[in-house]
């Protein structure tokens, strides 16, 4: 199978796994966790995993591989820069809403914030994501950014993007596990204990497997040197969006 054909098989798998991640996390919280609300109660918390998986994993991962699509290589890069930045901005908005949901829920229920490893990973990931997006906007989309700075920042920007994505995977997996430990306690809350592996645990663990599979496909696409945008097409990275036509 040719390199381009193999890319599109991998990309289709990426899209399918991402879609399944969103479906699974939404179904889990609507079916087993009772649905959604924004009232400071338990149903508000359910927005947190849905928004974080959708934004911080699925949208972020798809934005990361956007430049690797061969059909974009011979085209003006500016629309794809906009699509990349816009998809990441939407992912960032969903991430912020997801954080608002859990912080507001904790404060309303007098639950401490930022005490678990999951919360530490999540807040660090969100902070790095925000800094990465703002710096990328300033460096690659605004005409006031010096060319030398853009060329210097590009390798770090690419590396940090993959690093943030891996942190997002770890945050979501640890969050699923933490939620199951807190929710499935046995007779005290009319559920089977997590150790008995009830249907909810099986389903949520399957969601975790899907997230890992999605992440591995994205990282595979990003790591394949043959699927990088050809050097002749990469000059657009050193030119700002609002600069002269290329």
In angstroms, the CA 98 to CA 76 distance is: 34
- Continuous segment of H or E residues that includes residue 48: helix 47-52
Query: 237: pLDDT confidence band, cut at 50, 70 and 90?
Result: very low
pLDDT given for residue 29 in this prediction:
98
In tens, the pLDDT along 104-139 reads 999 999 999 999 999 999 999 999 999 999 999 988
Domains of the chain: 3-238 (1.20.120.1770)
In angstroms, the CA 20 to CA 58 distance is: 10
Which is more confidently placed, 6 or 78? 6
Tell which residue, 67, 76, 86, 52, has the closest CA to residue 158. Answer: 67
Q: 180-190 in b/e burial notation, b at 16+ Cβ within 10 A?
A: beebbeeeeee
In angstroms, the CA 23 to CA 158 distance is: 29
* Angle formed by the axes of helices 199-223 and 3-27, nearest 10°: 150
Tell which residue, 209, 185, 183, has the closest CA to residue 196. Answer: 185
In angstroms, the CA 146 to CA 116 distance is: 41
In tens, the pLDDT along 91-109 reads 999 999 999 999 999 999 9
Neighbours of 68 (CB within 10 A): 19
| Residue-averaged pLDDT of the chain | 90
């Amino acid at each position: 199978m040719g390199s381009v054909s193999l890319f599109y098989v991998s990309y289709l798998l990426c899209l399918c796994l991402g879609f399944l991640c969103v479906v699974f996390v939404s179904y889990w919280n609507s079916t087993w966790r009772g649905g959604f609300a924004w009232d400071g109660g338990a149903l508000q918390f359910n927005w947190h995993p849905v928004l974080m998986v959708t934004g911080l994993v699925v949208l972020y991962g798809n934005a990361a591989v956007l430049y690797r699509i061969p059909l974009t290589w011979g085209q003006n890069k500016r629309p794809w820069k906009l699509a990349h930045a816009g998809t990441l901005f939407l992912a960032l908005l969903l991430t912020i809403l997801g954080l608002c949901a859990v912080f507001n829920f904790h404060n309303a229920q007098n639950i401490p914030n930022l005490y678990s490893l999951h919360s530490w990973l999540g807040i660090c990931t969100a902070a790095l994501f925000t800094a990465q997006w703002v710096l990328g906007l300033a460096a690659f989309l605004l005409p006031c950014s010096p060319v030398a700075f853009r060329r210097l920042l590009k390798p770090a920007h690419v590396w940090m993007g993959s690093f943030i994505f891996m942190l997002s995977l770890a945050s979501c997996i640890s969050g699923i596990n933490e939620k199951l430990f807190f929710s499935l306690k046995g007779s005290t809350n009319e559920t089977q204990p997590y150790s008995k592996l009830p249907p909810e645990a099986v389903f949520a663990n399957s969601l975790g497997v899907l997230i890992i599979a999605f992440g591995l496909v994205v990282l595979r696409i990003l790591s394949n040197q043959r699927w990088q945008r050809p050097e002749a097409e990469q000059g657009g990275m050193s030119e700002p969006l609002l600069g002269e036509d290329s």
